Amino acid sequence: MSAAVLTPSPLRSFDRDTNKRSARRSVSASRLGRASHADPDEMEEPVSGGIASANEEQPSAGAHPIAVRKQREREANLSRFNHWRSATKVPKPQDDHAGEFRDVSELPLARLTVQERGIVESDATALVDQLAKGALTAVEVTTAFAKAAVAAQDVTNCLTEVFIEEGLKRAQELDDHYRATGRVVGPLHGLPVSIKDHILLKGHDTSTGYTGWAYNTVAEKDATVVRILREAGAVFYVKTANPQTLLSLETNNNIYGTTYNPFNRDLAPGGSSGGESALIACHGSPMGVGTDIGGSIRIPAAWCGLYGLKGSVGRLPHAGLLGSHDGMDNIIGCVGPLARSARDLDLFCRVMSQADPWLMEHQVFEMPWRNPSEITLPRKLCIAVLWDDGVVAPHPPITQALRDAKAALEESGHEVIDWEPLDHWGHWELISKLYLLDGGAEYRQTLRDGNEHAVPQTEWILGHAKDREAYTIQETWQLNLEREKFRSRVLEHWNATAARTSSGRPVDAILCPVAPTLAPPHTTVRWWGYSSYWNLCDYPGVVFPVGKLGLRGGNLGLEEPHDPRNDIESFVQSQWDPHTYANAPISLQLVGRRLNEEKLLAMLHVLEQSLGRVEHKDDTSV
């Protein structure tokens, strides 16, 4: 790496005026009558160098003493690599010419060499292949992604803990090992992997978006997933932002502020694994580890044009995460990968399985991962399309993407039928109770302990338990029964599709939106029903990109919307304006039967072939 001249962070000037609140956010918030801000009791001067306060729409996160300290430390770690930071000065979103910089996704590549661009544009599968052949070194690969990661942080605010030297040191060790032995240490030898903040990574803090946890949660050991990745040869160099409470499909907390969507900074990158999605979309990581209890892998992957897999509970290791409600297992989240190709999702799961995680962690089922290419699929798949969940219809580009996919599948000889939505509103009433069994008490206590206010999305979700006490255990047993009854209904509903297919078999998968909108303006997420439904069912869901709004022609938005069926749909309908979502990725979701992750990925492969998306070649483009 070259000893380049230190460049001041282009975002250093963005830390003023932090107490402004835009009319727009207030409007959005007041529409559903929930978003509001507690006033933190203790505020310091905003910190220099952070991006958290760059967007006027965000609360004054930078002012919390913990935020000051954490952002200062992050900046110190980044400043050692100022020569990697973007030379382009990115204006504030509301400034003149800001529109020219809504899409910042390519800026992180500016300092990369041609070779490095080749590296960061490759998927993980190609990279580990090249690393294993000795065609690339771990230091080369780590350097390329770290360079992009530093710049990605500057334009999207996606990172929390930054420890690039540690990553480079590990990469050097791996290279030394390879040179000495001619062998890789494992299937991910030399691959940089980014880790969501709330996942334990030995020696690093696990603030998890809570000011009260920062500096109190330095991990003494790795989470199981991290341990397996580490033993497989992965290189760790950054942790990534997650929102306060984790129970949010956006990414905003009082330590680091808001994370931005690199394709349009006016839009959310998704959450809760939004640091991951922003980073990977900026080529700052080839593969990241997220978690999903209501969409937190799939939503950010979709809104940033990536691949993301939420498996069934118990399929992948899950021990070693920090989060609220530890020990609550009425509804359980999943660890899973975000990546740039479908085959990388398979790679991640295969590596997990090969480590015999069931010998490390009681909860993991001993179900060895099968190679999706070895899965025998029916020659003629039957896919059901969920067009509209009956609560909030998706925006036009999503419906169009479903139509395109249906046509492509049929052209390829597959069958497509409609999926009749089954009680998506009921699912939400139930799962939102399961999320907040204690009435939100533990969340609120954690905020009080950390002397911080609730960010808008926290207020919104906690509003679902407004004025409700914690359930008694008898009530939670009743809710468990309702959950099991719901799962039974959906299972029977799926089985019943056999009556409507030409084969007489139930459908193989469900194709559906990931959310009713593309990546939306910040703090405006109001409906989880296309993602959290599958958490309640515990079905695996994979999301995949099909395009970008800016690249599509046609008559989007010309259809007359129906009368809104409820306040949420009314709000979401009113959001639709193609200009709002300029350049936003368009993605879809494929949902499979419980514990059929391999079959799901095999079907995604067939679907992508039908869509004409070129499968990744077996060797890298480097």
Q: Which of 242, 334, 342 is nearest to 542 (CA)?
A: 342
- The smaller minimum CB distance to a second copy, of residues 262 and 540, is found at 540
- The smaller minimum CB distance to a second copy, of residues 216 and 478, is found at 478
532 contacts 295 by C-beta, under 8 angstroms: yes
- Strand ranges, E, within 225-373: 238-240, 252-253, 257-258, 287-292, 307-310, 334-339
Per-residue b/e over 115-135, b at no fewer than 16 CB within 10 Å? ebbbbbbbbbbbbbbbbbeee
- The smaller minimum CB distance to a second copy, of residues 358 and 425, is found at 358
Supply the residues annotated as catalytic: 196, 272, 296
- How far is CA 73 from each of CA 53, 147, 159, 452, rounded to the nearest angstrom? 16, 18, 12, 20
What is the smallest separation between the CB atom of 391 and a second copy, expressed in angstroms?
23
Q: Token pair of 15, please?
A: 């830390």
In this structure, how many other beta carbons lie within 10 angstroms of the beta carbon of residue 477?
12
Collapsed DSSP state (helix, strand, coil) of residue 339 = strand
Distance CA 52, CA 579 (A): 25
What is the smallest separation between the CB atom of 447 and a second copy, expressed in angstroms?
17
What is the arrangement of strands in the sheet containing 194-196, beginning at the earlier edge strand? 159-162, 238-240, 194-196, 287-292, 334-339, 307-310, 541-548, 585-591, 509-512, 382-385, 415-418
- The smaller minimum CB distance to a second copy, of residues 472 and 555, is found at 472
434 is in an annotated binding site: no
Residue-level length of the chain: 622
- The smaller minimum CB distance to a second copy, of residues 534 and 576, is found at 534
Beta strands 238-240 and 194-196 are parallel
Q: Which residues bind a second copy (CB under 8 A)?
A: 319, 325-329, 358-363, 365-367, 437-438, 441-442, 470-474, 476-481, 484, 487-488, 491, 495, 537-538, 593-596
What is the smallest separation between the CB atom of 74 and a second copy, expressed in angstroms?
31
What is the smallest separation between the CB atom of 146 and a second copy, expressed in angstroms?
34
Per-residue b/e over 213-223, b at no fewer than 16 CB within 10 Å? bbeebebeebb
Residue 336: φ, ψ to 5°: -165, 170
395 contacts 516 by C-beta, under 8 angstroms: yes
Whether residue 79 is preceded by a cis peptide bond, meaning omega within 30 degrees of 0, is: no
Q: Token pair of 76, please?
A: 């110190």
Q: Which of 238, 230, 240 is nearest to 351 (CA)?
A: 230
272 is in an annotated binding site: yes
- The smaller minimum CB distance to a second copy, of residues 244 and 596, is found at 596
294 is in an annotated binding site: yes
CA-based angle 450:451:457, to the nearest 5? 85
- The smaller minimum CB distance to a second copy, of residues 154 and 222, is found at 222
246 is in an annotated binding site: yes
What is the smallest separation between the CB atom of 347 and a second copy, expressed in angstroms?
23
- The smaller minimum CB distance to a second copy, of residues 234 and 436, is found at 436
DSSP letter at 549 equals: G
Q: Which of 123, 128, 158, 168 is nearest to 1 (CA)?
A: 168
Q: Which of 50, 49, 44, 55 is nearest to 17 (CA)?
A: 55
Distance CA 562, CA 573 (A): 9
119 contacts 127 by C-beta, under 8 angstroms: yes
Residues in contact with 527: Cβ distance below 8 Å, sequence separation at least 6, in sequence order: 391, 392, 515, 516, 568, 569, 572
Q: Which of 515, 105, 453, 573 is nearest to 296 (CA)?
A: 515
What is the smallest separation between the CB atom of 505 and a second copy, expressed in angstroms?
11
Q: Which of 272, 239, 234 is nearest to 352 (CA)?
A: 234
What is the smallest separation between the CB atom of 336 and a second copy, expressed in angstroms?
19
- The smaller minimum CB distance to a second copy, of residues 158 and 447, is found at 447
293 is in an annotated binding site: yes
Q: Which of 488, 538, 590, 510 is nearest to 293 (CA)?
A: 538
- The smaller minimum CB distance to a second copy, of residues 173 and 442, is found at 442
What is the smallest separation between the CB atom of 538 and a second copy, expressed in angstroms?
7
What is the smallest separation between the CB atom of 327 and a second copy, expressed in angstroms?
3
* H or E stretch at 406: helix 396-411
What is the smallest separation between the CB atom of 465 and a second copy, expressed in angstroms?
13
249 is in an annotated binding site: no
Residue list, annotated binding site for substrate: 246, 272, 293-296
Residue list, annotated binding site: 246, 272, 293-296
